[in-house]
């Protein structure tokens, strides 16, 4: 099968640090290629995969609306010229990219990794269309956009072979927080929980430069770093994430918003590290309570569950998550949407 994957410019595919969706696109491009399909990737500058790559646009998340319009126009021209050259178009980028191929026989998957703008779904599905399936990364995320069209839940994935199980922890194994250092991610709660339970806390993630979140980081979070009990590691690449997650007693996920998925949770599980997470968004779908971690409702419950992390079998934690979220499993799910394998 000839497959085209599309991703917005802004961050290269694959990313070096931050870029969850960009990492997913690369994983699926490689997996589709491995399965014997002919793969093409349409993505921002610096992108690459084992198949053919066409780059466009600008790697700048703050790029203007005019630049974004020109990027859409590039995709429209590309699809108008090449839509009959593919059997499947798997779009992780903007919905509007699909316009030129909307009512053509080519199979189309539109994938979302964040809450969906229902208005756009209503407009697009009111137009003549064929062979179009919408997917989102959790039942929660599907519920935000399922106002029209054919919807399926397909979870996010990682390559479990890139993460290594560690069953033997040091006696003073730290807790870990991994994620963007925005207030809604709850790093302040992770720090509080670590201090209340007498644990070290490793914090990793990129610093947001939006005014409110940057102020939050500078005033509420950074002053608590002591490079000993509360240690900031910076933004980590995949190798570094694997290294530190292996060392952790648990990953704390005290979110204050409805997380669409939370790839960091399955990255931790891939190392055998249980996740203790607030019951918001996709958490009840991703964490198997008592097997891959614990689902809690507040900081006090999070503190209590830290004492129970030794009841989680780290090998079983990894294997349970691998069967659900490994890239080979999820890629096969995508290909099965239209009856293909």
pLDDT tens per residue, range 165-203: 999 898 899 999 999 999 999 999 999 999 999 999 999
Per-residue pLDDT band for 62 (boundaries 50, 70, 90) equals confident
Residues 211 and 240 in one domain: yes
The CB-based long-range contact list for 282-285 (8 Å cut-off, 24+ gap) reads 282/137, 282/138, 282/139, 282/140, 282/141, 282/258, 283/253, 283/255, 283/259, 285/138, 285/139, 285/140, 285/155
Which CATH number fits the domain that encloses residue 303?
Answer: 3.40.50.2000
Total domains present in the chain = 2
Residues 191 and 315 in one domain: yes
Residue 105 has pLDDT above 80, yes or no: yes
Residues 223 and 320 in one domain: yes
How much is the pLDDT for 262? 92
- Flag whether 341 is in a domain: no
Residues 96 and 228 in one domain: no
pLDDT tens column, 133-175: 999 999 999 999 999 999 999 999 999 999 999 998 988 999 9
Residues 112 and 259 in one domain: no
How much is the pLDDT for 11? 92
Per-residue pLDDT band for 16 (boundaries 50, 70, 90) equals confident
- Flag whether 205 is in a domain: yes
- Flag whether 197 is in a domain: yes
Residues 116 and 30 in one domain: yes
User: Cα(196)–Cα(190) distance, rounded to whole angstroms?
Assistant: 10
Length of the chain equals 341
**pLDDT top residue among 308 and 17:** 308
Residues 119 and 221 in one domain: no
pLDDT tens column, 292-318: 999 999 999 999 999 999 999 999 999
The answer to whether residues 172 and 159 touch, using CB atoms and an 8 Å cutoff, is no
pLDDT tens column, 267-296: 999 999 999 999 999 999 999 999 999 999
- Flag whether 19 is in a domain: yes
User: Cα(36)–Cα(11) distance, rounded to whole angstroms?
Assistant: 27
Where does 169-313 have alpha helices with state H?
Answer: 187-197, 211-216, 238-247, 263-270, 283-286, 299-306
- Flag whether 65 is in a domain: yes
The answer to whether residues 241 and 204 touch, using CB atoms and an 8 Å cutoff, is yes
Percent of the chain predicted with pLDDT > 90: 90
Mean pLDDT of the chain: 94
User: Domain residues for 63?
Assistant: 2-157+326-336
Report the 10 Å Cβ neighbour count for 61: 12
How much is the pLDDT for 169? 93
Residues 170 and 200 in one domain: yes
Residues 304 and 331 in one domain: no
Residue 209 has pLDDT above 90, yes or no: no
Residues 84 and 164 in one domain: no
Residue 243 has pLDDT above 90, yes or no: yes
- Flag whether 286 is in a domain: yes
- Flag whether 100 is in a domain: yes
Per-residue pLDDT band for 341 (boundaries 50, 70, 90) equals very low
Residues 112 and 218 in one domain: no
Q: What average pLDDT does range 217-232 have in this prediction? A: 95
How much is the pLDDT for 340? 57
Residues 187 and 131 in one domain: no
Percent of the chain predicted with pLDDT > 70: 99
- Flag whether 177 is in a domain: yes
């Amino acid at each position: 099968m000839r497959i085209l994957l599309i991703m917005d410019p802004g961050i290269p595919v694959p990313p070096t640090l931050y870029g969850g969706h960009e990492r997913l696109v690369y994983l699926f491009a490689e997996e589709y290629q491995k399965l014997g399909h002919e793969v093409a990737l349409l993505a921002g500058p610096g992108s690459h995969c084992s198949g053919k790559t066409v780059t466009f646009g600008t790697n700048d998340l703050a790029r203007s609306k005019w630049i974004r319009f020109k990027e859409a126009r590039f995709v429209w021209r590309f699809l108008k010229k090449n839509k009959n050259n593919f059997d499947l178009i798997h779009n992780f980028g903007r919905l509007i990219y699909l316009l030129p191929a909307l009512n053509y026989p080519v199979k189309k998957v539109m994938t979302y990794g964040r809450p969906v703008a229902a208005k756009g779904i209503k407009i697009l599905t009111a137009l003549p269309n064929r062979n179009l399936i919408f997917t989102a990364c959790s039942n929660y995320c599907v519920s935000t956009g399922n106002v029209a069209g054919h919807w399926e839940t397909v979870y996010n994935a990682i390559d479990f072979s890139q993460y290594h199980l560690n069953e033997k922890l040091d006696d003073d194994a730290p807790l870990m927080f991994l994620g963007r250092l925005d207030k809604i991610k709850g790093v302040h709660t992770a720090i509080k929980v670590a201090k209340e339970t007498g644990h070290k806390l490793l914090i990793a993630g990129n610093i947001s430069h939006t005014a409110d979140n940057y102020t939050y980081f500078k005033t509420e979070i950074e002053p608590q770093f002591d490079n000993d009990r509360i240690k900031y590691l910076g933004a980590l690449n995949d190798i570094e994430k694997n290294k530190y997650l292996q060392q952790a007693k648990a990953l704390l996920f005290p979110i204050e918003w409805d997380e669409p998925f939370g790839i960091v949770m399955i990255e931790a599980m891939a190392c055998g590290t249980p996740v203790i997470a607030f019951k918001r968004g996709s958490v009840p779908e991703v964490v198997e309570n008592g097997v891959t971690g614990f689902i809690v409702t507040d900081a006090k419950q999070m503190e209590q569950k830290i004492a129970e992390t030794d009841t989680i079998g780290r090998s079983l934690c990894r294997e349970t998550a691998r069967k659900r979220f490994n890239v080979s499993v999820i890629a096969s799910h995508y290909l099965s949407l239209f009856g293909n394998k």
